[in-house]
Chains A and B, each alone.
Chain A
């Protein structure tokens, strides 16, 4: 569903990604793990078009999308839930969701009916958000904001969802809830690329994982294979 080939990207003169290749099959959950500064977030930004790749290919459902503006890639079916959640703070929960659904909603006729259907689907997955749908997103707790960010990414029925650090700064009980949500999404057949510091938990939900170091993929394998790898075990799974 998503294929990345020899991706190079960076900021200014600094080259951060030096040839990243990975693949996410339809309906699979793939984890990307590695130390801080390895380039995980940069990979996500280069894939979703927030950062222009300097070289390499990004294929979404077989179509090349590299170099397209982020808004266009989103319309083609790639949703990015960024690190630090980045919900629209002053807007209501419902407006946040509608903005996420915008790429998939009709412009004029039938907007209301379609939007309500999409909202109902989101609220079914995240009942907590329904309780808070009139509240400004900025006043939600960290865990609720994370749920909102994921729900917003799902609104447009994307082909692939990129989830960057969904557990960052969350209480342990909420982290467990986030992973339970990811498991639910997986059961629904949603294709996910996941960046996570809690490498153990990420491997628990993933079908396949890539390990990044200094801007490139150094190892890849199924969670079971990586857990047998002495080096990965020592460096990331401690």
Chain B
């Protein structure tokens, strides 16, 4: 390991180990049961929020069901002990497993929905859960509550300190496995599908499947936390798991910082301290005062450095000021707690949209400059993109392909053959059906009629994900990159044939070796399109031309039989068009068959072996580029007067 590697290891892991050791040492000196109880809750809510962060942070979906999973987990554990006579380990495993299954079952329909509808689905699940826990009295004892004993573990009675250590150990385990998961292809897929579910599917990574698994994992952590919750309080009531708790949990995740394990931990500290804060008036006044001071300081800094808009800077100051005034006027803070949560949530959402950790991460990274780990040497291109035989045999065959939108016939009986190793141009006026043809081939739309065959076998219909699996990769006319991910990660999401480690082993951290191999492979592809130097740059920060090239590298990571390029030169300036032509030529040399939709006729003439011209959803001409360009129908419908002639006419006239 190099010096930089050690520095990074000590800073990142050091903070985690020091934090854990500090927390673990507390019971040795502190015997106050109240303090120990708070710390136990901190660990339990930590697990719960790490699970909630998977959906809220990584999937970017508002999940209002996590409080319900806490309740289900708690009751599952409680019932295992009271009715089935199970021990604590069995109870915890059952709690997590029940929530994994229920989470998956809820996710199957709910994740077909988007945004507010998904939030409503999880909200109704929460309402349903409290009702069932209340009414199914034979199992849960209903409103009268369920007493849960804390059974001995391996013959040892579990006192408060031992139980705290158990919770802390489980939090550490969850922390490590989630870190392993999120830094693997799974975590990348979660982030990718938030940026562009369409591209995720088109890269052969099922967006829906990954969302369901992510939600199930998050829910099972809720269940595990619920099990610990049951053994902590040893008394359960359905009213504990209502939506008010859910609002506090969301506040915790948002305030702590999304997409961050430390953020979840900070959020959990807030949740634990909040009720105590509200019950002590002096403490609450002090807290509001500090909040106002921090907000005012941040506002002045933000306005001075022009990093914040006036509204963003001043609204939290106003909210915190209101909180401070309130804390001086109101005598019974408990009654006002919903208003207090609302003011805090408002301040955080406006003033610290990235949460405390998001803010601190930027600050810490300036304080301790840690370079990211060095990238491996690029893998040989022959291994990443094996050269293919180019015998000119039929690869993709379309027969009488049709597609209608309402009453409009976009594709009207297209029959064509793309031969192995060729670059097949597809041109035509806007609205002639080119994009619809490739959208039907790639599975974005289902065909209205006709056949599509790859290597003589029917291609799956109407599923981007399954068509990608069959060996067809594509780029998109209006870019569909994973904007928040680096260029390297964009390619790694799509890589085929590198990732084999099953999910349980990924959780245990066995994916590191293949991760390294994947980086080497992705780098080789970035090198092919000339982006190796920008491997660490976020996709959305690349120039427009580089983004177009990155889409090609990402599609090539699929090792496709057929690569569809949908207007790769649209909006490119002359130097970038030249670079693009070079890239396509290099890809062609490796024997990759391509379908190229393009309006730049010079690019088409230079690269294509065959050109098909569409107009009004039908083929009007086909042949080599020079023949097609002279075809009178093509000139009339598509080319107009030759560019040179138009240019000269303009020069003469103007």
Query: What is A's interface to B at a CB cutoff of 8 Å?
Result: 13-14, 34-37, 54, 83-84, 139-144, 165, 168-177, 179, 183, 197, 199-201, 204-205, 235-238
Asked if B651 lies at the interface with its beta carbon under 8 angstroms from chain A, I say yes
CB-CB nearest 3 A-B residue pairs: A141-B431, A37-B543, A142-B430
Q: Is B429 an interface residue (CB 8 A)?
A: yes
Known A142-B430, A204-B651: A173·B637 in contact at CB below 8 Å:
yes
Is the CB–CB distance between B654 and A183 below 8 Å? Answer: yes
- B639 CB contact (under 8 Å) in A36, A141, A172: A172
Partner of B650, one of A197, A205, A235, A237: A205
Question: Is B544's CB under 8 angstroms from A204's CB?
Answer: no
Is there a chain A Cβ closer than 8 Å to B599's Cβ?
A: yes
With CB as the reference atom, state the residue of chain B lying closest to A142. B430
| B415 interfacial contact with A, CB 8 Å | no
Q: Which of B632-654 contact A (CB under 8 A)?
A: 637-641, 643, 646-647, 650-651, 654
B306 interfacial contact with A, CB 8 Å: yes
Contact partner of B574 (CB less than 8 A), chosen from A14, A165, A237, is A237
CB distance from A220 to the nearest CB of B (A): 18
Q: Which of B68-76, B487-495, B565-573 contacts the other chain?
A: B565-573
Q: How far is the CA of A227 from the CA of B451 in the complex (A)?
A: 51
- Would A204 and B543 count as touching, CB distance under 8 A? no
Q: How far is the CB of B481 from chain A (nearest CB, A)?
A: 15
Chain A residues with Cβ under 8 A from B429's Cβ?
141, 143, 171, 173-174
Q: Is B35 an interface residue (CB 8 A)?
A: no
B542's closest neighbor in chain A, by CB? A37
Q: Is the CB of A200 within 8 A of B428?
A: no
Query: What does the 1/0 interface line of B598-630 toward A look like (CB < 8 Å)?
Result: 010100000000000000000000000000000
For B573, give its contact among A36, A139, A144, A179 (CB under 8 Å): A36
Check if B541 is an interface residue, CB within 8 A of chain A.
yes
13 A-B contacts, Cβ less than 8 Å apart? Answer: A36-B545, A36-B573, A36-B576, A165-B571, A168-B570, A168-B571, A169-B599, A171-B428, A171-B432, A171-B638, A179-B650, A199-B574, A236-B575
- Of A83, A170, A173, A200, the most chain B CB neighbours within 10 A belong to A173
Which of B307, B431, B571, B578 interacts with A197 by CB under 8 Å? Answer: B571
Kindly list 15 other residue pairs between chains A and B, CB separation below 8 angstroms, not including A36-B573, A37-B546, A165-B571. A13-B307, A14-B541, A37-B543, A37-B544, A54-B306, A142-B431, A169-B570, A169-B599, A171-B427, A171-B429, A171-B432, A172-B643, A177-B640, A201-B647, A201-B650
User: With an 8 A cutoff between CB atoms, is B242 at the interface?
Assistant: no
B578 touches A200 (CB 8 A): no
| B390, CB-defined interface residue at 8 Å | no
Interface string of B438-480 (1 = CB under 8 A from A): 0000000000000000000000000000000000000001100
B392-431 near A? 1/0 per residue, CB < 8 Å: 0000000000000000100000000000000000011111
Instruction: Please determine whether B477 and A169 come into contact, CB atoms closer than 8 angstroms.
Output: yes
Q: Select which of B573, B599, B650 is within 8 A of A236 by beta carbon.
A: B573
Q: Which residue of B lies closest to A14 (CB)?
A: B541
Give the shortest distance, in Å, between B323 (CB) and chain A (any CB): 30
With both beta carbons as reference points, the residue of chain B lying nearest to A167 in the complex is identified as B599
Is the CB–CB distance between A176 and B641 below 8 Å? yes
Which chain B positions have C-beta within 8 A of A37?
543-546
Which residues from A are CB-within-8-Å of B650? 179, 183, 201, 204-205
Known: A36-B573, A204-B654. A176 touches B646 (CB 8 A): yes
Chain B residues near A197 (CB-CB < 8 A)? 571-574
Specify the chain A residue showing the minimal Cβ separation from B654: A204
**Contact partners of B647 in chain A: CB under 8 A:** 200-201, 204
B430 contacts A176, C-beta separation under 8 Å: no
Asked whether A36 lies within 8 Å of B543 as measured between CB atoms, the reply is: yes
- Whether B640 contacts A176 by the Cβ 8 Å rule is yes
Of residues B430, B431, B639, which shows the largest number of chain A Cβ atoms within 10 Å of its Cβ?
A: B430
Distance A36 CA – B578 CA, assembled complex (angstroms)? 13
Residues of A within 8 Å of B477, CB to CB, are: 169
Contact A35 B576 (CB under 8 A): yes
